Every structure is written in C-alpha cells, then in structure tokens.
Structure 1
Amino acid sequence: MKLTVVGGGSTYTPELIDGIAGRRSTLDVDEIVLVDPDAYRVSAVGDFSQRLLDHAGHPAKVSTTGNLEEGVDGASAVLIQLRVGGQLARRSDETFPHACGCVGQETTGAGGLAKALRTVPVVLDIAERVRKIAGDDTWIVNFTNPVGIVTRALLNEGHRAVGLCNVAIDLQRTFAKLLGAGVDEVKLEHTGLNHLSWERGVYVNGVDRLPELLEQHAELIGERVTAPTWWMRRMNVVPSSYLKYYYSHDAQVVKQRTERPRADVVSDVEEELLKVYLDPEVNTKPEQLEKRGGAYYSEAAVQLVHALTSGGPAEEHVVNVRNNGTMPFLPDDAVIEVPSTVDGNGAVPLPVRAVEPRFSGLISAVTAYENLALEAAVKGGRDRVADALLAHPLVGQYAYAEQLADTLVQINHEFLPWARA
C-alpha cells in the first residue's frame, strides 16, 4: 500500500513514521511519499524517516517530492497536515486578537478563523488534484486545523474524507494509565466538535469509571486540561483543554499576553529537530519530538488509515464526521467529533445520548460560526469574515468583530486571493 503525506516536511512527520514502524503487522504499507514544497525540510525529514523504518526492521521505503501529482499517484490514502503561512502566520493568529482583549489561538476564535481562511482553499485545491490523479476511491485523512471546518469543506465537495484529532486518544491513554486498564479496554463517551468536546463517560468493560476518575484523580486531570476540580465533579465531565478558552477566557488572555507565543516555542523546537534529523547517526525518535505536541498522533493516524484501507471489520475511532441526525439540535451536514464505526466504506457516528443544554448551547453556537467561517473561506469577502467573527462566542461584539476583520484581512492579505483582487 502507498501512503502519501501532504505537508510531509513537517517536523511532526517522524511521529507518524514511528507509528507505522511499530504497526508492521496491521498496516501493510510498503511505500510512503512525503510531499512538500520545502525541499530542504522534506529531504531532512525523509532521510530520517527512512532510518527510523530501517532501524525498526520495517520494509517500507520513503521517497520525497515537491510535486503533488507525482506523490499521490497510486496512493490508497493521503494524509493532509498543512500549515499555510508557517509558524510566522501562526504567531499572528496567536497575537492579533489581543488588541480587542480576545483570546489568540490558532484553531479557535479570530486566530482560528484566520487559519481557516488561509487553509480551506489550499486543501480543496489539493483534494481536487488528488481526485483527478489517484481517483475517487482514495481516502483523505485530514489532520489540518481547524479540523472540523476543513473536514466539512472536503465533505461538501464530495471527497472521501475523515477528520482526525489527537485529543481523544491522548485522554484515553491518560485514563487507561490512571485506571490501570489496557488501552483497548477504555472507551470514551466523547461528545462535541473538534476542539470543543467533553468526555461524558469513560467505560471499561461496559462500566462507567468516570466518577471514580474524578473522585481519585481530579487534581491531576484538571491540571492536564486546565479545568477546576470542583466543576468537573459537579458536571461529571472532563472537558478538552481547548474549553479553557471559553470557560476561562479572560484569564487565558492575561496569561497569553505575559507568555512567549507558542509559535515561537515551536519554531525553536523545529530548529532543534531538523538538526537531529540531519544527523546520519540518529535512527530513533528523539526526545525533543515530545515538545512539538500532538501526543499519540501517530497511533491515531495509523489506526484510522488501517480501518479505512484494510478491508477488515469495522473499528471504533473518535473522528470528525457528518452529523446526519446524531445530534438532533445540529444540521445534518455539520461535522461533529464523536466515536464512530470506521471501515472501508468510511465513518459512521455511533448514537449519542441526549446532550445536556449546558453543552448543546455552546456546540450549536460554534457550529453556526463554523458554517459562516466556511462560507467566508470559500466565497471570500471582508464582511463575511466580520459576520463569522460576530457569531463566534469568543468575539461576539460589533466593534470587536469589525476591528478584527480588518486586521485579519490586512495581515493575511497575501494568502487571500479575493483580498488582492
């Protein structure tokens, strides 16, 4: 099987390769192509990735290219992990909203909208070219943020696409360790949208162990997801760490204004990693890769690709998928993040028990924003940008939406063709 990684020059990529090396018996990959316009980075990452596989005794061969058509020809699955504008654009996403006292983050709020506007047209162009070269049956696994919006864009255009995030698998591994259970024994009642989700149950052999986790380990869990223990116990949920931007917005803005932007930290880590990758003596995953983020990304990606391409029985994974009535208070075409059955026919969401109003209200509001964000990304227009910002719970005021829209368009001018017209 041929697997293609678009954005393969990312310093993240060896995490994926390491996961493939460890799953030789289940994921039958013999060719991996890394596609990236940055020849220097993709060469360094590609050579190191081959050393990882060779050291693990995996027979797959890695090649690199800057030509998308060449890279995806004959691929069974294409994994997209892009960052349009690089870390410099990310730094902007994380800082420009502060002028209005709004949180700066690359996947939600005004910063998340900026990333969506830059990213959606590029991903749709790539997906259309993949369809022409590799065919309609090729699976696209989207790991590009904001995952929900980008995946919805792909599905709207009829692509065979599934969105993936590592939040659920990270929490699953955490809970398994705390409970002394096997990873495969732990099932999450993961409910919501990408980067807007709650664990409403943690099941081991059919028994909900969430109350026990919150009774015995709330402090540790709360520190990990940035949530107060009393609130988690009262709600009987564990929120994803991204909920802090909603539930503790002002405190997060204060914190961000005093801390070094994450983009700068990641840039330093990437520089360190590239030096390691260029060392021909290094053939195992370096410790610095843990600083890059994306814990268990490799496991989640490899398991999902296996489910989509192996031809085997359906597996359960937490993915981004069409709602199709799963949450009755949302449109059918909304993209939600829930446990789903996945096989060669795609992902189908499992039934979700009624969502409490304290969660469904926020889910509905952010879904409405995502719809407006996607419209702005596809059709363009400064006013559409402002409308999406006004609808976002993290902005939500006329003056802020107007000011942030102007700033966003100005800063991202080179990435928005409609803004240059």
Structure 2
Amino acid sequence: MRLTILGGGGFRVPLVYHALLGDRGPGRITEVTLYDTDSTRLSSIAAVLRQQAVEFVDPPAVTATTSLDDAIRGADFIFSAIRVGGLEGRTVDERVALDLGVLGQETVGAGGIAYGLRTIPVATAIAQRIAALAPEAWTINFTNPAGMVTEAMIPYLGDRVIGICDSPSGLGRRAALALGVDPATAFYDYAGLNHLGWLRGLRSGGVDRLPELLTSTEELTSFEEGRLFGVDWLRSLGSIPNEYLHYYYFARETLAAVQAVEQTRGTFLLEQQSAFYAETAQHPDQALELWQKTRAERESTYMVESREIADAGERDERDMAAGGYEQVALSLMRAIAHNERASLILNVRNRGILHHLDDDAVVEIPCTVDANGALPLAVSQLTDHQAGLVTAVKAVERSTIEAATASSRSAALRAFAWHPLIDSVTAAGQLLDSYTAHLPDLAYLRA
C-alpha cells in the first residue's frame, strides 16, 4: 500500500515514518511519497528517514516530489499535514494578537482563526484534487485547526476524510495509568471539538473509574492535566478537560505569561527549526541525530507557559515516549486497511451523537473504525457549560469556513467577534485589519 504525506518536509514527518517502520504486519505500507512545496525541506526530511531505516529490513520505500498531482495519484492513504504560511505565519498569528491584548495561540482564539483563514482555501483545493485523482483514497487530516479544516474538506471527500489529534488519547492514557488501568482496554467518554473537549468517564470492566480518580489527590496530581488545572477545579467540573482548555479557564494568567516572555512559541520554533534545516543541509550525514536533538527540545517546552502558571513541572518522559498523533494515524490506517475494529477518538461528523449540534458538525468523539471508516459511538451529553462553549466555538469555526470559502470579510469579522477569548467587536475588527495587512495569504479579505 502507498501512503502520501502532504507537507512531507514537515518536522514531525519522521515520527510517522518511525511508526511505519515498526509495522511488520501483512498489508503494511510499503511506499511513502513525501509532497512539499519546499524542496530543501523535503531533502532534509528524506535524509532523516533514510537514516531511520538503516537498521530495518525492507523498510517502506520513500520518494519525494513537489508535484501535488503526482503525490496524490495512486495513493491508498493521504496524510494532510500542511502549514500554509509556514512558521513565519504562526509568528504573525501570535504577535498580532498579543499586540492587541488578545491570546494568539496557534489553534485557539485569534491565532487559530487567522490560521484557519489562510489554510482552508488551500485545504479545500487539495480536497478537490484528491476527489478527482484518488477518489477511493482515505484522507487523514493532521492539518490544524484540525476540526475546522476537516469540516471544510468534507463537502469534497465525504466521510473518507477523518481528522485526528493526539491530545484526547494522551489524556485518556494518562488518566488510565493513574488508575492502574490498561489504557488499551478502557473506554473513554470524551466529547467536544478539537482542542476543546472533556473526559467525562473512564470505563474499565463495566465500571466508570473517573469518580475514583477525581477523589484521589495522589492519583489526580500524578499526571499533567491534574497538575495543570488543579484538584479543586477538576472536582468542581466533575471531568478532566483537554489541556487546551487551560487557555479558556486561565485566560488572564496565560495571556500575562505569554506577554511576559520575549519570544513567542512560534518564534522559538521558527528559529529552532530553521537552524535544524540549515544544519541538516550542511551535514546531511547527521540528519537523524540533529532531528532527535531538536525534537527533544521542542517536546520538553510544549505549553511551557501554562505549566509554569500551574507549577505543573516538566512534561512526563513516559508520556513523551508513548507516541503521539502518528500512533493514532497508524491505528486508524490499520483498522481501515485490514477491517480490524478499533476504538479511537477522532474528528468526524456528529450524526446525532451530541444533541446540541447538528448532524454535519465535525466533533471530536470516540469512534469504532473498520473497513467502512469511522462510526461515532454514543457518549454522555454535554453539560450546559460544555455545550455553551462548544456551540459558541462551532459558530466561530463555521464563520471562519464561510469567510475562507466565500471570501467574505463580514464572516471573518463575525468569527473574531464571536470567539469567547476576544472580548470586543472593535478588537475583532482590529485583528482582522492587522492580520490581512501582515499575512499575504489573507489578501482576499482586505477591505
């Protein structure tokens, strides 16, 4: 089988290839095609992959191309992991928002809206090419904002596009291990949108173990979310939020922490990865070593401001070693390709599962996956608080999609104004003006 990775020069691609190297089962991926618009980045990542494969027998063959049509044609699975505007665009997303006193995280709030506005036109164009050249292929969307982009691609690809994220599975795994439960055997009652969901139950042996976890201070503070949100707040909620909800629940503190540092997350990653690609181009024989060193630094500084606010300490090495979205993607591919039933938390159409949202709204919920794709499973309904936040952000997502697909400035303004982390229509207009002035990809929204 052949896998195509769109955004194949991206820094995290070696994580996917490493997961493929460990898959020795029948019907495994035997060909990997990397597609990227940047040939220099492609060469660097291809060098990392070659060195990863040295100790393996019959590793998946790797080819690289800057032709989108060549990459898509003949693919069985397509991973979409593009970053329109690159990390340079992310730095603008963050800085514009911060200069206006608004949080600018890359998928949450103003930064996420700006990211979606420049990404959706490209993602929908790609979806149309996939529909034309590889209509039977399954597209697995990693591209952020994942839920929003997946929903924008569905009109062209239907249920053959599925969005993934490793945050829900990581949360479930950490909670299960805190309870001494095998994560592979537990059912996670998790629901919401991408980067906006809650773990409301953890069933093992037919028993919901979450209440037990919430009552045990020792167990609750043994993993990241317990330390990040605090025992009292989690008990008050009666659930465990996705880590990205820290931006909502502690918005004032997070904004102050981000404003206090000289360098935003995007700027840090831009400098770090620019150095990696430059050094790899000079020393391709050291590509894997350079990548591993850079990745370790990247992972250890993830969401560092939020962890500092909560005094949560450093990231758990066990969690970092467990694998991320690449493992979710590999499990999803195996289930579809081999018709092996698997339970995964995915971004799919709601289909009546969450009563506060319509059937076509893309939500993040547990699914059963087999050769027919992903079927959402029944979960408990959202509380009033959860539903209020989810429906508000879904309205933002849909206004962003409308703005991007119809070149509608008024829809873009609504998206900024309606977001819970943006507290003024005036500020929303200033954000839109500044983003369109600084981001060439948003020229279609200029007044």
Common topology (TM > 0.5): yes
| Counterpart residue number, 2:67 | 67
Q: SS at 2:344's partner residue?
A: strand
* Count of aligned positions: 418
| Counterpart residue number, 1:388 | 415
Q: Whole-Å Cα distance in 2 between the matches of residues 103 and 252 of structure 1?
A: 8
Compute the TM-score of the two structures, normalised by the length of structure 1.
0.93
Task: Write out per-residue CA displacement over residues 241-296 of structure 1, whole angstroms, 9 at most, x where no aligned residue.
Answer: 11111111111110110122111222243245444695436667725324444951
Q: SS at 2:95's partner residue?
A: helix
Matched, 1:297 2:325: yes
Structure 1 vs Structure 2: percent identity of aligned residues? Answer: 33
Q: Whole-Å Cα distance in 1 between the matches of residues 430 and 186 of structure 2?
A: 46
**Residue range with higher mean Cα deviation, 162-171 or 1-10:** 162-171
Structure-2 change in CA distance of 1:100 and 1:220 (3 Å): farther
| Counterpart residue number, 1:244 | 246
Matched, 1:42 2:69: no
Quote how far apart the aligned CAs of 1:419 are. 3.6
Q: Whole-Å Cα distance in 2 between the matches of residues 80 and 389 of structure 1?
A: 26
| Counterpart residue number, 1:266 | 269
The 5 A counterparts of 1:2-401 are 2-25=2-25, 28-134=28-134, 136-159=135-158, 160-214=160-214, 215=216, 216-221=218-223, 226-259=228-261, 260-271=263-274, 273-274=276-277, 275=279, 278-280=283-285, 286-293=292-299, 296-310=324-338, 312-401=339-428
CA RMSD, Structure 1 to Structure 2 (Å): 2.2
- Structure 2 counterpart of 1:365, one-letter code: A
Quote how far apart the aligned CAs of 1:148 are. 0.9
Q: Whole-Å Cα distance in 1 between the matches of residues 423 and 378 of structure 2?
A: 32
Q: Whole-Å Cα distance in 2 between the matches of residues 364 and 289 of structure 1?
A: 35
Gaps of 5+ in 2: 300-319
Q: Whole-Å Cα distance in 1 between the matches of residues 364 and 36 of structure 2?
A: 28
Quote how far apart the aligned CAs of 1:223 are. 5.5
Q: Whole-Å Cα distance in 2 between the matches of residues 358 and 420 of structure 1?
A: 36
Query: Retained in 2: the 8 A contact 1:24–1:58?
Result: no
Structure-2 change in CA distance of 1:204 and 1:58 (3 Å): farther
Quote how far apart the aligned CAs of 1:333 are. 1.3
Q: Whole-Å Cα distance in 1 between the matches of residues 248 and 358 of structure 2?
A: 23
Structure-2 change in CA distance of 1:156 and 1:131 (3 Å): closer
Compute the TM-score of the two structures, normalised by the length of structure 2.
0.88
Quote how far apart the aligned CAs of 1:186 are. 2.9
Structure-2 change in CA distance of 1:172 and 1:345 (3 Å): same
Query: Retained in 2: the 8 A contact 1:21–1:56?
Result: yes
Task: Write out per-residue CA displacement over residues 204-226 of structure 1, whole angstroms, 9 at most, x where no aligned residue.
Answer: 33332223333133234355773
Task: Write out per-residue CA displacement over residues 5-26 of structure 1, whole angstroms, 9 at most, x where no aligned residue.
Answer: 0000001100111111112226
Q: Whole-Å Cα distance in 2 between the matches of residues 319 and 156 of structure 1?
A: 18
Structure-2 change in CA distance of 1:177 and 1:269 (3 Å): farther
Task: Write out per-residue CA displacement over residues 191-214 of structure 1, whole angstroms, 9 at most, x where no aligned residue.
Answer: 100010111112233332223333
**Residue range with higher mean Cα deviation, 143-152 or 351-360:** 351-360
Q: Whole-Å Cα distance in 1 between the matches of residues 207 and 20 of structure 2?
A: 32
Query: Retained in 2: the 8 A contact 1:35–1:67?
Result: yes
Structure-2 change in CA distance of 1:118 and 1:47 (3 Å): same
Quote how far apart the aligned CAs of 1:58 are. 4.3
**Residue range with higher mean Cα deviation, 112-121 or 339-348:** 339-348
Query: Retained in 2: the 8 A contact 1:314–1:343?
Result: yes
Quote how far apart the aligned CAs of 1:315 are. 1.5
Quote how far apart the aligned CAs of 1:229 are. 1.5
Structure-2 change in CA distance of 1:210 and 1:337 (3 Å): same
Query: Retained in 2: the 8 A contact 1:50–1:61?
Result: no
